[in-house]
């Protein structure tokens, strides 16, 4: 079965490798154009392009626009039986209808829950204990196609979005291979999505990531781990921005004071919230390296009663 794989970020790399290792004929890859990256702005290929070239896949398409008719023609010329999409762009029908056995997408949630650009962030931010991946056939409306399969995974109490991402990309690779096998053998049994259960997962931003210490401790903790590592939950301290990457729920009676009040307790950085306490265990002052809660306390000589967010 001739497969065209479409994806760009590191999240898609395990899926491409798994499809190749499973013996499917990957006749081409579509990914984003080479872009300037990192501080040096050196032009680099996407993670998927790097993996494709390493695997010996020399047909790499890098359209500036997926709606360019030349892109559809280039995909058609590869004569795909099926198109597998993992973290790519929204494809027009002129592209995904080139494959006679269909085009499917891997999504980082249990659809129809968390349709949109940031399903992993939203699951962690909302304190969900369970998430997963879904493969579904592409249709004109984003994330609404018939479901092929779902695979479930749990989310730990202190697990960050970044940690869920790392585990999910492996689970996703397994789901992509299984989906291709079902398509190849004709064993696919699709299921429509229940629109009444659909929830959005819009893209997150730096502005969204500011910490509101007046929320309940559990909500603050979920906020911190939900935005970790990127864009990074943040607050201010003495006029400087501080990113917070890790936290845990503290003892309920450990701190008294207005939300945002800092209390050093046995070398632990505890912060009062509306109805409880969070302990900050990894944070970073702007322009400085990441530090533990203890190092932050001692490095800035924080006194009891000092506040974040002022």
H or E, element range at 14: helix 13-21
Segment 79-90, tens digit of pLDDT: 999 999 999 999
**Assigned token pair, 64:** 């500036």
The ranges assigned to domains in the chain are 2-197, 207-299
- For the ranges 140-144, 160-164, 273-277, 304-308, the one whose mean pLDDT is highest: 160-164
Segment 180-221, tens digit of pLDDT: 999 999 999 999 999 999 999 999 999 999 999 999 999 999
What confidence score (pLDDT) does residue 254 get?
A: 62
124 pLDDT band, cuts 50/70/90, is very high
Is residue 78's pLDDT more than 80?
Answer: yes
Q: What mean pLDDT is predicted for residues 37-55?
A: 90
Choose which CATH entry (3.30.465.10, 3.40.1390.10, 3.30.420.10, 3.40.50.170) describes domain 2-197: 3.40.50.170
- Intrachain domains 2-197 and 207-299 with the same fold: no
CA dist 114 to 69, 90, 225, Å?
31, 16, 18
Is residue 252's pLDDT more than 70?
Answer: no
Is residue 257's pLDDT more than 90?
Answer: no
What confidence score (pLDDT) does residue 303 get?
A: 84
- Under a CB-based contact definition with an 8 Å cutoff, are residues 131 and 123 in contact? yes
What confidence score (pLDDT) does residue 266 get?
A: 87
Alpha carbon dihedral 249, 274, 208, 195, in 10-degree steps, equals: 80
What confidence score (pLDDT) does residue 3 get?
A: 98
User: Looking at residue 287, what DSSP letter applies?
Assistant: T
Percent of the chain with pLDDT over 70: 98
Q: What mean pLDDT is predicted for residues 46-74?
A: 98
Residue 191, φ and ψ in degrees, nearest 5: -135, 130
- Lay out the sheet containing 103-107: strands in order across: 60-61, 25-30, 2-7, 82-86, 103-107, 130-137, 147-154
- Under a CB-based contact definition with an 8 Å cutoff, are residues 21 and 13 in contact? no
What mean pLDDT, rounded, does the chain reach? Answer: 95
Q: What mean pLDDT is predicted for residues 3-14?
A: 98
Note the pTM of the prediction, 2 decimals: 0.94
H or E, element range at 153: strand 147-154
What confidence score (pLDDT) does residue 255 get?
A: 65
Task: Say if domain 207-299 classifies as CATH 3.10.25.10.
Answer: yes
């Amino acid at each position: 079965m001739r497969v065209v794989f479409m994806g760009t970020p590191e999240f898609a790399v395990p899926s491409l490798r798994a499809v190749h290792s499973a013996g499917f004929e990957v006749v081409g890859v579509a990914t984003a154009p080479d872009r300037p990256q990192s501080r040096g702005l050196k032009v680099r290929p996407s993670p998927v392009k790097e993996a494709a070239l390493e695997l010996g896949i020399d047909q790499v398409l890098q359209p500036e626009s997926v709606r360019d008719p030349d892109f559809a023609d280039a995909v058609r010329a590869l004569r795909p039986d099926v198109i597998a999409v993992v973290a790519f762009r929204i494809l027009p029908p002129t592209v995904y209808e080139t494959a006679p056995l269909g085009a499917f997408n891997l999504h980082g949630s249990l659809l129809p829950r968390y349709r949109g650009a940031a399903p992993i962030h939203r699951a962690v931010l909302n304190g969900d204990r369970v998430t997963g991946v879904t493969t579904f056939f592409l249709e004109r409306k984003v994330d609404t196609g018939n479901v092929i399969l779902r695979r479930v995974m749990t989310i730990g109490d202190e697990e960050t979005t970044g940690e869920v991402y790392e585990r999910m990309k492996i689970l996703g690779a397994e789901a992509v291979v299984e989906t291709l096998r079902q398509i190849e053998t004709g064993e696919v049994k699709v299921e429509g999505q229940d629109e009444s259960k659909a929830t959005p997962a819009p893209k997150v931003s730096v502005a969204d990531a500011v910490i509101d210490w007046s929320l309940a401790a559990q909500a603050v903790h979920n906020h911190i781990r939900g935005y970790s590592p990127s864009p990074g939950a943040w607050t201010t301290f003495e006029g400087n921005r501080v990113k917070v990457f890790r936290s845990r729920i503290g003892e309920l009676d450990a701190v008294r004071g207005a939300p945002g009040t800092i209390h050093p307790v046995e070398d632990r950085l505890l912060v009062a919230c509306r109805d409880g306490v969070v302990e900050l265990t990894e944070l970073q002052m702007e322009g400085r390296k990441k530090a533990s809660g203890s190092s932050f306390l001692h490095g800035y000589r924080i006194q009891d009663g000092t506040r974040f967010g002022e």
